[in-house]
Structure 1
Amino acid sequence: MSCFPCCMSEEKINKKSLKKSIQEYEDTKKLASFANISFKSDSSRRRYISEEISKIGKGNISAQIFTYRELNVATKNFNSEFLLGEGGFGRVYKGHIQSKNQDVAVKQLDRNGFQGNREFLVEVLMLSLLHDSNLVNLVGYCCDGDQRILVYEYMPNGSLEDHLLELAPNKKPLDWSTRMKIAVGAARGLEYLHETANPPVIYRDFKASNILLDEDFNPKLSDFGLAKLGPTGDKTHVSTRVMGTYGYCAPEYALTGQLTTKSDVYSFGVVFLEVITGRRVIDKSRPSEEQNLVTWAQPLFKDKRKFTLMADPLLDGKYPLKGLYQALAVAAMCLQEEDSTRPLISDVVTALEYLSADKSDEGEQNT
């Protein structure tokens, strides 16, 4: 598809250096102890972070190092008028880097929040070593004093959540074809992480608020602070502390802490169901039997006659009936309880590419 360009010769070169860099990153084992390191001074912390990024990145880190003063100027003293969003991680501001003549999103991490030095380092490394049209581009970072700031390319249409789950009264709901376009692009982002990166990268925090949209509603995955390198050799999973957002976590990961790429496939299924239904995965404002989206959907998956009940009412019946059936079938496969029965993300991409390309009965009114 024209909105997802790919240069094969460049990809082969990048894949080789990517594999080497990420393998060296895996071998260092530095990240596991990073959060426990104490620093005598701010300058030693800055120096340590810069040295680690330089050492682990092996010269492949393209992100620029900004001073706090530069980012203060870019955001006009972190002016609330430029606030794009706020969460448990901190605040995101729109900024403008004069030297690059570039609009950016500046994420100032909460100094007392969850996302500490380790997550900051992971984010810088992951987004510096991984490059794909469906991953947000890291422009640079700042670690002056106790400031931890990440600078991304600016995505003018905000997040998928803004257009799907928190729709402002003056905003038009997403039409069916745009929803499928976003779904296939987000799936391609996961496909790159799972099948191009070596070792594979498990995203671990796939949700609507982490899918950002450019001016043409092309999606890019953002926020890699929780990403983990996947199993290598004969290992089947990575054991780790359960992190992520309630409702999106795969059941086996939530129960055992055992993480695989199929955990991301489950999370994709949750978001895809949100895309189809316009419902949030956990919504306490609904009747008790409808508060958990997956629990509500499971019995409906078994009865084709009820599929139209699952379409977002804001679509106003304007969707291809066959497309709705196929989309719900893909979501149901991703949401299988057993991880071994879920499809690979590459199979999901194939199915969604077919769905987004098929316009045979789009716009059909369903009653």
Structure 2
Amino acid sequence: MNSANVVLLSLLLFCHQTCSASRDTIAANESLSDGSLVISRGGRFALGFFSPGSSSYRYLGIWYHGIQERSVVWVANRNDPITGTSGILTGHGYCCLHLYSNSSSKLPLWSANVSAGSNGTCVAQLLDSGNLVLREGKSKMTTVWQSFDYPSDTLLPGMRVGLSRRTGLSSFLTSWRSEDDPGTGNFSYKIKPSASSQLFMNHGINSYWRAPPWPWQRWEGNHELYNDSFVDNEDGIFVSIDLVDSSVLVRVVVDPSGTLMLMTHDESDGRWRVYYTTPKQKCDFYGSCGPNSKCDPSISFPFECTCLPGYEPKYPRKWHLKDGSGGCVRKRSESSSFCGDGDGFVRVAKVKLPDTSAAIWMDLGTRKLTCEGECRRNCLCSAYATIATDEKGIGCLIWYGALMDTVYSQPRDYDLYVRVDALELADYLKESSGFLELKMKLHFSIIIPSIISAWLVIFLSVYLWLKKRKKSRAKNRQIRNIFHRPSDDSNYLDDSLASKDTKRSTIYPELPFFSLNTIHEATDSFSLANKLGQGGFGLVYKGKLPNGQEVAVKRLSKNSNEGMEQFKNEVFLIAKLQHRNLVKLYGCCIEQDEQILIYEYLPHNSLDSLLFVDESVRSVLEWGKRFNIIVGIARGILYLHQDSRFRIVHRDLKPSNILLDAELNPKISDFGMARILKGDQMERKTTRIGGTYGYMSPEYALFGRFSVKSDVFSFGVMLLETVTGKKMNEFSLEDPSLSLIGHVWELWRADRISEVADSSLSLSRRDLNEALRCIQIGLLCVEDIAAHRPDMLAVILMLNSEATPVPSPKQPAFVCSRPKVLLTKEPTYSCRFKSEISTGPVEILILCSEDIQDNCGRSCGA
């Protein structure tokens, strides 16, 4: 190798090392072009050019570096986007940063506003706090400009929101216009100096939300993650947050809709989690009940707004219609007794104090007067609150004029004392002691009969209660005997599998019994907010046990005739079944006429809640996940049919009984209709046909005969629904087929089966072949003769192995169609399906006139 090549190789290596090493500074006369990054020394933040969302415009910004989800925390040219990738950030010798749309541009789109007194050279540096600073001097330690003084929509730890008394600079957050446009939005989050400084969210020039007054009432949120601080001194008024653990990523964001969100980064999945948001409910919005009122979120009837003591609705008609925006006005406003002898104050407990813009702070110090005395001295004083703080000692907040945005807040410990006139104070005192006073003045001739009547009511109530309790205990004893005595019901247990010792012992000693109090605490007394859904014999609620375990609570309806049998069936069967594709039973509760089952909680609810919705939601179930769900259901059914202690026929398999966990793994639930086949028994017959039309096999729906092949039929219907995204009982098209099975069968016969797959799926060639194979297996499962359907072991082999041949399907059951030749003069529809009875296969024809064609379709399709 000659010397020229050695020099060239050395230059290339030096260039590679220089270019690959990340930098955290931009020196004077250096620049940053689109495609390059400045990365903070610790690697936490990056400075560079980006395009938000689906926008093609380019912006200079700072974002978290090295995490999966890009999170922009600051934007320089938020209102002046760059077209194309020609943007360039340049450092100048006189402590300036200029952003140009291209290298030949003379006018900068954005500049760092450095004071005119700076005439030295500066270095721009990106710190690990996310702060971009300009530093001058020989040691480059004097900060002359920083991005933290000019926030965008994000508050980072160490950043301050507030007002500088030295420079007059106001630092506040403003929302983006949208996810695709970081321009200045309609919402701003800033501090408002007053007697007790407050943080406001403004919508334009209007107040939208208000934080509790500082420093006596603090922010809400998770204080295990951060500490919030308030500073009010000669330098200015500032609010900031500091991390308790510097390894945790925390940020506060104002989103384009005006919601303030406290977010933390979850390292387990690389996503941001929302820990706290506001505003969330009506009382969070500023002045939602108007002036001189109190908003109480715990009151729903008649509605959240109530007038403060001494006030009445300004517009009674609107108030009656639950419109409290007009607020309240003083009663007897013409009376002179408001500021005179006899006036006083009524306590309003535990509130977020009203807007302090119309209040003053008064330090009592060594004064002998109290807060009440200070307020009473001025006729314009409308309310006061006594405050004790470390910063200002003991003092008073005194309001003059209207009291705006008073909100009941249970965690708060401040009381507001509202000034009322003599008449109102007298009424208040009378109400406080009225009952005792009335009782003392009643004549004995009224009291004695009342006492006797009251005792009679008490005795009658106790008698009825004891009678009801006795009946309830007898019923609960009967129910508990289900779990503590041997069972001879062949519907549930196979006697051939149980020894005499087993029958004499308790059947389920390992099944936990929960107290009703525990269930009430877990579900917030069966709150509708925790309702997950409704089954055939009751409601299902989300709950959280004292150990933090999330559960699903299934509550038996007291009006259900078949509920008791289904309750017993669920416990007998599912308590003894253990499989990853079956829902897990944690225990039950039998107390006070309540029969409750406690299951594991599955966050994605049921399969139908994701499958039978609009295309945007359904697209979450991409083909790989759908195929895993199909295989998981098949494995669960195979366990019931072959691998469990009993051979179990579920009898009610449908998408609403397939629950999905956090990873979208399926779990079969609701065993209320399940039955056991004893020994070598292959089929049973019942006169009580239960289940869901559309998923019941023809031999079961028509003749009450069920077997493992009944579940195979139901699985086949679910398989077709999962691939097509169409619901069996609600399917309709303008082609001859009136059911999903008939539609798929017609396309199979016409060699157009590729048209069946869900339009929301993006299928590769391999995925399409797999989907078509599933359709063929589904048609095999819904054949009209039970013996022709494959068992679940064969289904799993066909699903998991491309080498396993899949037979061609025969005519399925429940194929409905319009006849090509009208049978009568009037428009007529027909429904044909085949079935098998003891004498052999038969074909049934249903004729329907046009006015009942919907019922015909349901009869056949179901």
Is the Cα–Cα contact under 8 Å of residues 173 and 314 in structure 1 kept in the other structure?
Answer: no
Bigger shift: residues 57-66 or 157-166: 57-66
Show structure 1 runs of 5+ residues with no match: 1-38, 356-367
Match of 2:524 among 76, 83, 86: 76
Query: Partner residue of 1:46?
Result: 476
- Partner-residue secondary structure (3-state), 1:295: helix
Instruction: Note the C-alpha offset of 1:204.
Output: 0.5
Is the Cα–Cα contact under 8 Å of residues 588 and 597 in structure 2 kept in the other structure?
Answer: yes
Letter in 2 for 1:338: I
Query: Partner residue of 2:716?
Result: 269
Taking a change above 3 Å as real, the CA distance of residues 211 and 257 of structure 1, as seen in their structure-2 partners, is: same
Is the Cα–Cα contact under 8 Å of residues 483 and 508 in structure 2 kept in the other structure?
Answer: no
Deviations 1:54-113 (A, max 9, x none): 334845453311122211100111111111112332211110011x42100011122213
Deviations 1:5-30 (A, max 9, x none): xxxxxxxxxxxxxxxxxxxxxxxxxx
* Alignment partners' CA distance in 1, 2:780 and 2:568: 35
* Alignment partners' CA distance in 2, 1:289 and 1:66: 54
**Structure with greater Cα Rg:** 2
Answer yes or no: is 1:123 the counterpart of 2:560. no
* Alignment partners' CA distance in 1, 2:589 and 2:614: 33
Is the Cα–Cα contact under 8 Å of residues 619 and 761 in structure 2 kept in the other structure?
Answer: no
Match of 2:757 among 311, 314, 317: 311
Taking a change above 3 Å as real, the CA distance of residues 150 and 168 of structure 1, as seen in their structure-2 partners, is: farther
Deviations 1:181-223 (A, max 9, x none): 0111111111011001344100001000001111111111000
Query: Partner residue of 1:6?
Result: none
* Alignment partners' CA distance in 1, 2:615 and 2:485: 45
When the two structures are superposed, what TM-score results if normalisation uses the length of structure 1? Answer: 0.80
Letter in 2 for 1:219: P
Is the Cα–Cα contact under 8 Å of residues 650 and 674 in structure 2 kept in the other structure?
Answer: yes
Answer yes or no: is 1:95 the counterpart of 2:543. yes
Letter in 2 for 1:79: S
Match of 1:157 among 604, 609, 626: 604
Taking a change above 3 Å as real, the CA distance of residues 47 and 269 of structure 1, as seen in their structure-2 partners, is: same
Letter in 1 for 2:758: D
Letter in 2 for 1:311: A
* Alignment partners' CA distance in 1, 2:720 and 2:483: 38
* Alignment partners' CA distance in 2, 1:160 and 1:167: 14
Query: Partner residue of 2:485?
Result: 55
Letter in 2 for 1:142: C
Letter in 2 for 1:52: I
* Alignment partners' CA distance in 2, 1:324 and 1:172: 16
Instruction: Note the C-alpha offset of 1:318.
Output: 5.0
Is the Cα–Cα contact under 8 Å of residues 585 and 598 in structure 2 kept in the other structure?
Answer: yes
Q: Which has the higher contact order (CA 8 A, sep 6+)?
A: 1
Answer yes or no: is 1:205 the counterpart of 2:652. yes
Query: Partner residue of 1:243?
Result: 690
* Alignment partners' CA distance in 2, 1:288 and 1:53: 54
Instruction: Note the C-alpha offset of 1:130.
Output: 1.2
Letter in 2 for 1:207: K
- Partner-residue secondary structure (3-state), 1:131: coil
Give matches, 1:152-231, under 5 Å.
152-167=599-614, 172-231=619-678
Higher helix share: 1
Letter in 2 for 1:237: E
Deviations 1:225-253 (A, max 9, x none): 000002533x4311112110000000111
Deviations 1:164-184 (A, max 9, x none): 013585564311110010111
* Alignment partners' CA distance in 2, 1:238 and 1:167: 40
Taking a change above 3 Å as real, the CA distance of residues 61 and 154 of structure 1, as seen in their structure-2 partners, is: farther
When the two structures are superposed, what TM-score results if normalisation uses the length of structure 2? Answer: 0.35
Taking a change above 3 Å as real, the CA distance of residues 169 and 87 of structure 1, as seen in their structure-2 partners, is: farther
Match of 1:295 among 735, 742, 764: 742
* Alignment partners' CA distance in 2, 1:114 and 1:337: 33
* Alignment partners' CA distance in 2, 1:322 and 1:176: 12
Taking a change above 3 Å as real, the CA distance of residues 82 and 299 of structure 1, as seen in their structure-2 partners, is: same
Instruction: Note the C-alpha offset of 1:148.
Output: 1.7
Taking a change above 3 Å as real, the CA distance of residues 211 and 61 of structure 1, as seen in their structure-2 partners, is: farther
Aligned pair count reads 314
* Alignment partners' CA distance in 2, 1:88 and 1:312: 29
* Alignment partners' CA distance in 1, 2:560 and 2:712: 28
* Alignment partners' CA distance in 2, 1:88 and 1:237: 25
User: How much is the aligned-residue C-alpha RMSD, in angstroms?
Assistant: 2.2
Is the Cα–Cα contact under 8 Å of residues 74 and 96 in structure 1 kept in the other structure?
Answer: yes
Is the Cα–Cα contact under 8 Å of residues 230 and 238 in structure 1 kept in the other structure?
Answer: yes
Query: Partner residue of 1:28?
Result: none
